[in-house]
Amino acid sequence: MKLTEVLKPLGVFVLVIAVVLAGTAILSVATGSNGSGPTDGQQIQGQSPGQFQPDAVNVEADPEEGELSVDAPEGEKKILVDTSHGNTFDRAKLEPVLEALAEAGHTVDIGAVSGGGFGSGDYNATLQEYDALLVIQPGSGFSDGQRTALQKYTDGGGRVVVLGEPTQSALGQGTFGLVPTQITFGANGMTTDYGARMGADLLYNMDDSANDNNFKEIYAEPTGNSPLTEGVETVTFSRAGYIVTVGDTDASVVLGAADGTRTLKDDRTGSYATAVQNGNMVFVADSDFITRSELYDVDNEVFVSNLLNFLVSGDKPDDVPSVPGQDDGGGF
Amino acid sequence: MATGSDSASTKTVLYVVVVVVAVLVSTVLAPVVWNATQSSDEDSDTPSVAVITLRGGTTSNNVASIREDLRQARNNDSTEAVVLRIDSGGGPVASSEEIYLAVNRTAQEMPVVAYVEGVAASGGYFAIAPATAIYVKPSSVVGSVGVVATVPEVVELQNQQRQLFIRSGPDKQIISVDEIRNIVESFQNAFVGTVMKHRGDDLSLSEEEVSRAGVYTGTQAVENGFADEVGSLESAIQRAAEESEDIEGDNYNVYYKEPPEMLFGLLFAEADVEKRDGNIVYVDRGDETETEFEQPVKFYAVWGIPEEYTTDGNREVSINETN
């Protein structure tokens, strides 16, 4: 076979392919549009939206200033922190308060050292030893006898401060790590004796000027001229509840939630009392404001100082409350 | 003679065969040449509306893909409007801001009309906030303008946390509840500020009401200004075309940027796929960092509940939709 016999058909083969493909390309280019387009640089356009600027985004945390102090009037006072009513609190929570009280020369017992028991007689004896009682988030109620003893105690000059939490979910330490639990204020019977009970819901406030960077960190303000709120303009409470005054009572509102505060589940606006005083008893609808992370927010440290001063300013004689058998004290 | 005649016919047959084979080969190659030289629909002279779809979370992968689609739409001379078809409950704050910036950038150049196929909540709504118009169905869900932070147990148990590190400064590796609240609040400010900036004039709700982070159905959203119209995808496409100054009447094409799962069959990298069961693909997305430390606090703009609270445990389950 001659070389030309191979080359010629091969040439035709290549030519036909070339013609068809060139035709295709020409047709394609003719019908399409292929601009070189702008350069990358022309497409680059940065943006820095106004609403992303620091002025619009950054938040100021409440200043954590001030000092916790107890101005002891005179003498050493003994304070009992209640642990016998299923109280839910971390001891570390109390440390700043304990430190301030100790510094001012007072003694604090977490749980009764002597006495003990739940009988009314025992409870009277226990209370006799102390000038003031601090009750934090009691999960269970006070018995009738204990309530009677407390009445006699406060009537006789003993001071009682109750820090409670509304019903809410919390994380508890279970056998296998954290488990969701529900905490409930259990001593409404006792507080009702003083004309107040824990409200049924948590409070929130969406107004940024009425909360501490979170809707559940509400602000409360003094409602009168109580010594408890001397020097206080604003107090912040974390996941706080409210207090309902009951019936015809002498209980007066000391702190009220800021305007626009609502209940979380029912979403009702209203004026909500967050701290109430009835004579020698003070009831606050939050127990977290004494913890380190909350203590120095806004005027919390002033309010806590005032509360501690209230605790150590009683003038209870040593024989109050009188032990049953000597008077009409009830049983369980 | 007979030999010459045979030779001539053999040659003819040979050339016929050669030409036929050449034409066949050319037929195979022609489309390649055609494609190489021909611009696609999106590049043609006829103006077009690009339909870009986000189905799934505003995760960094999804957002990267949408960003690229939007970039192509902007750089394409014939694309004159974009319809963003969305079904997303949001995702990390960082990538939600990222998709917002990409959509915002595009909306500065051409009309972007959002079509809420299912959900455009939280990060999903962040994405469509700058849209020229938002189309919904009665079953659409929009809103949830808010931020959540997932915090490690040590934050909850602050007082019980042990010293795990030797630290160089007092704030190193310490996460306080106060600090997280501040961060959440500032991220929220950026999110709410964005919604108010783009939708403020349409909204009948105040900034404070928006901050409540409620969700609204399509029809509620049209009433309160979270959305503009009730309509179909085609309504959104028509609106996008109408909004464009470069599109006259019906003289436009529509091209669909298919979501990643349509292109590759799977949205996920094969390495992430843990198990397949029919159409259900179980994906275990590991921590992308190679260190033994995990980011302690994560911030999300999402509408939903953490996976560990679902019955499937901490694995992601997604349906590999093929239609």
Residue type, B319: I
Please answer whether residues A131 and A78 qualify as being in contact, where contact means their C-beta atoms are separated by less than 8 angstroms.
yes
What ipTM was estimated for this complex?
0.74
pLDDT grade for A100, boundaries at 50, 70 and 90: very high
The fraction of chain A above a pLDDT of 70, given in percent, is 88
pLDDT reported for residue A326: 56
Note whether B37 contacts A28, CB cutoff 8 Å: yes
Note whether B26 contacts A56, CB cutoff 8 Å: no
pLDDT grade for B207, boundaries at 50, 70 and 90: very high
Interchain CB contact of B263 with A (< 8 Å): no
Summarised one tens digit per residue, pLDDT across range A268-293 is: 999 999 999 999 999 999 999 998 88
Closest in A9, A56, A178 to B156, CB measured? A178
pLDDT reported for residue B199: 96
Note whether B186 contacts A207, CB cutoff 8 Å: no
pLDDT reported for residue A141: 92
Note whether B29 contacts A17, CB cutoff 8 Å: yes
pLDDT: which is higher, B167 or B24: B24
Summarised one tens digit per residue, pLDDT across range B212-248 is: 999 999 999 999 999 999 999 999 999 999 999 999 9
Strand partners of residue A273: A243, A256
Please answer whether residues A275 and A284 qualify as being in contact, where contact means their C-beta atoms are separated by less than 8 angstroms.
yes
Query: Which domains, ranges and CATH numbers included, belong to chain B?
Result: 46-319 (3.90.226.10)
Instruction: Please give, rounded to a whole number of angstroms, the shortest distance from the CA of A33 to a CA of chain B.
Output: 6
pLDDT reported for residue B178: 80
Q: Find the closest chain A residue to B194 by CA distance.
A: A51
Residue A16 resides in a domain:
no
What is the greatest pairwise CA distance in chain A?
141
Between A and B, how many residue pairs show a Cβ–Cβ distance under 8 A?
127
CA angle B218, B61, B192 (to 5 degrees): 45
A321 cis-preceded (ω within 30 degrees of 0): yes
Residue type, A193: D
pLDDT at A144 over 70: yes
Which chain A residues touch B208 with a CB distance below 8 Å?
Answer: 206-207
d(CA A166, CA A185): 6
Interchain CB contact of B200 with A (< 8 Å): no
pLDDT at A173 over 80: no
Encode burial over A177-189: b for 16+ CB neighbours within 10 A, e otherwise. eeeeeebbbbbbe
pLDDT reported for residue A73: 67
Instruction: Please give, rounded to a whole number of angstroms, the shortest distance from the CA of A3 to a CA of chain B.
Output: 14
Residue type, A135: V
What is the rounded average pLDDT of the residues A142-170? 92
pLDDT reported for residue A293: 83
pLDDT reported for residue B314: 38
Summarised one tens digit per residue, pLDDT across range B77-113 is: 899 999 999 999 999 999 999 999 999 999 999 999 9
Please provide the DSSP assignment of A98-156 as one string: HHHHHHTT-EEEES-SSS-SSSHHHHHHHHHT-SEEEEE--SSPPPHHHHHHHHHHHHT
Tokens found for residue A90: 């971390």
Residue A10 resides in a domain:
no
Q: B residues 112-171 near A, CB within 8 Å? A: 153, 156-159
pLDDT reported for residue B37: 63
What's the number of domains chain A is made of?
A: 1
Note whether B193 contacts A37, CB cutoff 8 Å: no
Summarised one tens digit per residue, pLDDT across range B51-65 is: 999 999 999 999 999
Which chain A residues touch B190 with a CB distance below 8 Å?
Answer: 51-52, 56-57
The CATH number of the domain where A135 resides is what?
A: 3.40.50
d(CA B97, CA B190): 9
Note whether B30 contacts A61, CB cutoff 8 Å: no
pLDDT reported for residue A330: 42
pLDDT at B74 over 80: yes
Residue with tokens 């007689």: A121
Interchain CB contact of B43 with A (< 8 Å): yes
Interchain CB contact of B207 with A (< 8 Å): no
Note whether B34 contacts A20, CB cutoff 8 Å: no
Residue A39 resides in a domain:
no
Residue A282 resides in a domain:
yes
Closest in A9, A59, A213 to B15, CB measured? A9
What is the rounded average pLDDT of the residues B250-272? 64
pLDDT at B308 over 60: no
Tokens found for residue B110: 């051409």
Going B41 to B45 to B47 to B50, the CA torsion angle's sign is: positive
Which chain B residues touch A212 with a CB distance below 8 Å?
Answer: 181
pLDDT grade for B170, boundaries at 50, 70 and 90: confident
d(CA A274, CA A203): 10
d(CA B302, CA B59): 11
| Secondary structure of A145-193 as H, E, C letters | HHHHHHHHHHHCCCEEEEECCCCEEEEEEECCEEEEEEECCCCHHHHHC
pLDDT grade for B321, boundaries at 50, 70 and 90: very low
Summarised one tens digit per residue, pLDDT across range A206-218 is: 998 899 888 999 9
pLDDT reported for residue A255: 96
Note whether A32 contacts B22, CB cutoff 8 Å: no
pLDDT: which is higher, B310 or A304: A304
What is the rounded average pLDDT of the residues A145-158? 93
Residue A64 resides in a domain:
no
Q: Which of the 8 DSSP states describes residue B157?
A: T
Of A71-75, A174-178, A185-189, A328-332, the range with the highest mean pLDDT is A185-189
What count of other Cβ atoms lies within 10 Å of the Cβ of residue A246? 15
What's the predicted TM-score (pTM) here? 0.76
Note whether B193 contacts A13, CB cutoff 8 Å: no
**Tally of helices (H runs) and strands (E runs) in chain A:** 9, 15
pLDDT at A119 over 60: no
pLDDT at A182 over 60: yes
pLDDT reported for residue A106: 93
Summarised one tens digit per residue, pLDDT across range A30-72 is: 765 555 556 777 777 788 899 999 989 988 877 788 899 888 6
Range of the domain at A196: 75-311
Residue A191 resides in a domain:
yes
pLDDT reported for residue A35: 52
pLDDT reported for residue B169: 78
Segments of chain B assigned E as strands: 48-55, 79-88, 90-92, 112-121, 133-136, 141-143, 148-150, 215-217, 229-230, 253-257, 273-277, 280-283, 298-302, 316-319
pLDDT reported for residue A16: 83
pLDDT reported for residue A17: 85
Segments of chain A assigned E as strands: 78-81, 107-110, 132-136, 159-163, 168-174, 177-183, 196-198, 203-204, 217-222, 235-238, 243-245, 252-257, 262-263, 273-278, 281-284
Q: Find the closest chain A residue to B101 by CA distance.
A: A47
Residue type, A35: G
pLDDT reported for residue A21: 82
Closest in A12, A34, A213 to B185, CB measured? A213
Residue A316 resides in a domain:
no
pLDDT at B19 over 80: yes
Best A44, A45, A59, A292 residue to mutate vs chain B (most B CBs within 10 Å) = A59
Who contacts B184 (Cβ-Cβ below 8 Å, separation ≥6)?
A213, A214, B147, B148, B149, B299
Closest in B33, B38, B194 to A21, CB measured? B33
pLDDT reported for residue A78: 93
Give Cα A248 distance to the centre of its chain: 30
> Residue A221, SS3?
strand
pLDDT reported for residue B11: 80
What is the rounded average pLDDT of the residues A151-174? 86
Least-confidence region, from A44-53, B128-137, B256-265, B302-311: B256-265
Residue with tokens 């809103």: B143
pLDDT reported for residue B311: 45
Summarised one tens digit per residue, pLDDT across range B110-162 is: 999 999 999 999 999 999 999 999 999 999 999 999 999 887 665 555 545 45
Tokens found for residue B41: 């629909």
pLDDT grade for B260, boundaries at 50, 70 and 90: low
Closest in A28, A171, A213 to B156, CB measured? A171
Instruction: Please give, rounded to a whole number of angstroms, the shortest distance from the CA of A331 to a CA of chain B.
Output: 40
Q: CA dihedral in degrees (B45, B47, B51, B52; nearest 10)?
A: 60
What is the rounded average pLDDT of the residues A3-14? 81
What is the rounded average pLDDT of the residues B13-32? 83
C-alpha atoms less than 13 angstroms from C-alpha of B297 in its C-beta half-sphere? 20
Note whether A52 contacts B190, CB cutoff 8 Å: yes
Residue A48 resides in a domain:
no
Instruction: Please give, rounded to a whole number of angstroms, the shortest distance from the CA of B33 to a CA of chain A.
Output: 6
Long-range contacts at B285-288 (CB < 8 A, ≥ 24 apart): B285/B316
